[in-house]
Chain A
């Protein structure tokens, strides 16, 4: 599945402009903090409106040519830096949130498959605030996968984790890339992380 992005967005006195295409595998958006990498993911997800340009996934245009799909129909999974789990729902209800909303034909993973894949079946009845950083990030990944996305966006998913957990989650990300064959757009400012995970690297500079 090809991803084709060409967007421009003015934020304050700064202009974020990026153009790239990416195939399967993990595409790292690499650059210093504050270069606008998160804004690019937000534009792909539909949470931020580009000033001009286009965003296409495969044959589908998400933005451009007069089209601006709302986030809920884009089928773009988003794993946020801080997990961003719903605090008023237990882990199980967090995981099924997007699954329940997805068209049955769009789902490609069940709750059982997701909990097995991520090793989180023992967490289902817990509240998000009781989870460690690594556990919360796994649940956040599961929640995104269960909504049946065509592409996964990950915004520095390792940044709040200690070294041991980082290795665990990197293994999970590699398995999403290689076993589930889900295209991933991955934002990072860490060279080692990108070297290990990325199929290709897009430099986001000043």
Chain B
């Protein structure tokens, strides 16, 4: 089946995608909540910024990351001086690029499910003795859960497919930043690499298809039988 090298590529992709999505989740949920619930000056700009990676050429996103997190960039210098860390040419940098590219999709999925929550249920919870915080944990969050899970799956699928921003920001280093799409790209450059391309491409299709089916199933549960009836 797969060679040890190919297994390494798969493992790296899963690690990059997993870390990217889990680290982004709380931020994406916060953004989705704010965009769904609050009207404030600058909301349109925030909304635009969140969606920017969706429409920007990924190369540009990668280049912007390079400027910000490079040795001379503001974020890069800050990380270096406080943590002695750098994201350049590291798998953590690949995870950051993947996270930025996944953010808009995750925010969209969660925002839809937050907007779908009947806010009067939160009022009912308050009259039953729940603080705003308790009402959030016991009513709002569970009702938003299908959207959160769908966001995780979609974000993960997007992350392991990330190419342009990753190769621009952290290059294409075997064992460190060479995820599935980068490995396919590399194998295409090598004479006789077609067999490896076929296997990795097939694997990509399976992973993506699985994620889509899973997220579709989760989204359906939101609108399924558990809805309240009446007016």
B128 part of interface (Cβ distance < 8 Å): yes
> Interface residues of B, CB < 8 Å — how many?
24
Q: Residue on B with the closest CB to A77?
A: B127
Of the candidates B130, B143, B230, the one having the most CB atoms from chain A within 10 angstroms of its own CB is B230
B113 to chain A, nearest CB (A): 12
B125 to chain A, nearest CB (A): 7
Q: Among B40-48, B74-82, B212-220, B221-229, which stretch is in contact with chain A?
A: B221-229
* Given A127-B226, A129-B226: A87 and B143 interface contact (C-beta under 8 Å): yes
Check A101 for interface membership: any CB of B closer than 8 A: yes
Which residues on A sit within 8 Å (CB–CB) of B138? Answer: 97
Total residues of chain A contacting the partner, CB 8 A: 33
Q: Which of A81, A98, A133 has the most CB of B within 10 A?
A: A98
Cβ-Cβ contact count across A and B, 8 Å cutoff: 80
B226 contacts A87, CB within 8 Å? yes
Q: If the complex has contacts A86-B139, A87-B228, A129-B227, are A70 and B129 also in contact, measured as CB distance less than 8 A?
A: no
Given known pairs A84-B120, A86-B121, the reply for A71 and B127 (CB within 8 Å) is: yes
**How far apart are the CA atoms of A196 and B117 in the complex, in Å?**
37
- Known A72-B129, A98-B129; judge A85-B231 contact (CB<8 A): no
Q: Is B142 an interface residue (CB 8 A)?
A: yes
Give Cα A41–Cα B126 distance, bound, in whole angstroms.
14
Distance in angstroms from A201 CB to nearest chain B CB is 24
For the complex, give the distance between the alpha carbons of A102 and B127 in Å: 11
With an 8 A cutoff between CB atoms, is B123 at the interface? yes
- Residues of B100-146 whose CB lies within 8 A of A: 118, 120-121, 123-131, 134, 138-139, 142-143
- Residue pairs across A and B with Cβ atoms less than 8 A apart, 22 shown, are A70-B131, A71-B123, A72-B127, A77-B127, A78-B124, A83-B228, A85-B228, A86-B124, A87-B143, A88-B139, A97-B128, A97-B130, A98-B128, A98-B129, A101-B134, A102-B129, A129-B227, A129-B229, A133-B230, A143-B128, A144-B128, A147-B128
Which A residues are within 8 Å of any B CB, using their own CB?
A: 45-47, 70-74, 76-78, 80-88, 97-98, 101-102, 127-129, 133, 136, 143-144, 147, 160
